[in-house]
Amino acid sequence: MILVTNNEGTLGVPTAARMLAAGAAALDAIEAGIRPIEADPSVRTVGRGGWPNILGEVELDACLMDGSTLRTGAVGALKGYLHPVSVAREIMRRLPHELLVGDGAARFAAEIGAETADNLIADSKRAWQAWYDAELTPAQKAAWPAVDLAPLCRHAIDPEIGRDTTVFLAQDATGAVCSGTSTSGWGWKYPGRLGDSPIIGAGSYADTRYGAAACTGAGEMTIRCGTARAIVLYMKKGASVADAVFEAADDMRALRGGLISRVTIHAIDTRGNHKVVAVNGDGSNVYWLWDGAGEPRRCPADVVRIAEEVGRVSSVARYTAAG
């Protein structure tokens, strides 16, 4: 058995580890690990308390993958619900689909009686309002929200400045390997922007035959590289989990244009091995490891640099405590 989660998983790792130790299924342990993080408003990049989009609305992304069936459930740009990961779970259970976004995801959440929430907490509202007051011209304010939002996207927060998505990877006592993610994505993102967290193969992937991977940071990079799926394929082709992660990090050197920023890659294999690498990291990334016995422990991630210049967008950071 093994459980890996990132620093944002701190609140959920004891529950998930305890459940796995007691024989719970990996998917159940992962969902139970993510839920308290989604509900805690002090985690500013997941669930309630997450930073809003450029219109001041919190849009949440999440997914789960069952590596034994390759079934997934994912939601993108979901507004008004407390536990996107559980809505994702119900998509897997109840629908012949894998991913719902926006109004359709909210409609489904209402249909299943998912718990509603006002995810825009007072501090996020204050920060967004301060940004709006300071950065928009009088003409933009007069026309708001009927203005071009694209030029304003330069204000997006680097998700690793504001902290990050949460990701969980687990193998349970039966050998089943699963993955899960949950995030509010980039602060001040363009409405409808999906990061990699709900995109299977980019932000996460699990296959009980080989292992699993999940990413945090700039989802734009892992979407372009198909990072999580690539890692599992590299393992299928015989690479160790460490070599697979380094190979996927190396793939990012081919990226030209767009956003080149930071990504942290987490991966496990089926034999109790794992690797966590912070691409373009500054050495501060940590993660949680529970290796099937004792208590979960915090470990430092390795660092790989693939770019001299790392994109740091963020006039918005000055309106947030994270800045």
Q: 């409609």: which residue's tokens?
A: 107
Residue 93 backbone phi and psi in degrees, to 5: -75, -40
Q: 């990334």: which residue's tokens?
A: 285
For ligand GLY, the closer of residues 196 and 251 by Cβ is: 196
Q: How many Å apart are CA 117 and CA 287, to the nearest integer?
A: 29
Catalytic annotation present for 15: no
Grouping H, G, I as helix, E, B as strand and the rest as coil, residue 96 is coil
Q: How many Å apart are CA 21 and CA 33, to the nearest integer?
A: 13
- The dihedral region occupied by 223, where left means phi > 0, alpha psi between -120 and 50, and beta the remainder, is alpha
Of 24-32, 85-93, 169-177, 191-199, the segment contacting ligand GLY by CB under 6 A is 191-199
Query: Smallest distance from the beta carbon of 262 to ligand GLY, in angstroms?
Result: 10
Residue from 76, 84, 195, 296 binding ligand GLY (CB under 6 A): 195
Annotated catalytic residue: which of 165, 208, 222, 270?
165
User: CB neighbours (10 Å) of residue 237?
Assistant: 10
Residue from 31, 196, 207, 251 binding ligand GLY (CB under 6 A): 196
Question: Binding string, 157-186, against ligand GLY, x = CB under 6 A?
Answer: --x-----x-----------------x-xx
What single-letter amino acid sits at 147?
V
Is 47 a residue that touches ligand GLY (CB under 6 A)?
Answer: no
Q: Length of the chain in residues, anyone?
A: 323
Residue 122, burial from CB neighbour count under 10 angstroms (0-12, 13-18, 19+): exposed
Residues 215-244 that bind ligand GLY (CB under 6 A): 216-219
Strands 302-304 and 274-279: parallel
Of 196-204, 249-257, 281-289, 304-312, the segment contacting ligand GLY by CB under 6 A is 196-204
Question: Binding string, 198-217, against ligand GLY, x = CB under 6 A?
Answer: -----x------------xx
For ligand GLY, the closer of residues 136 and 153 by Cβ is: 153
For ligand GLY, the closer of residues 165 and 179 by Cβ is: 165
Nearest to 265 by CA among 292, 296, 242: 242
Number of residues that bind ligand GLY (CB under 6 A): 13
Catalytically active residues, by annotation: 165
Point out which residues bind ligand GLY (CB under 6 A): 159, 165, 183, 185-186, 195-197, 203, 216-219
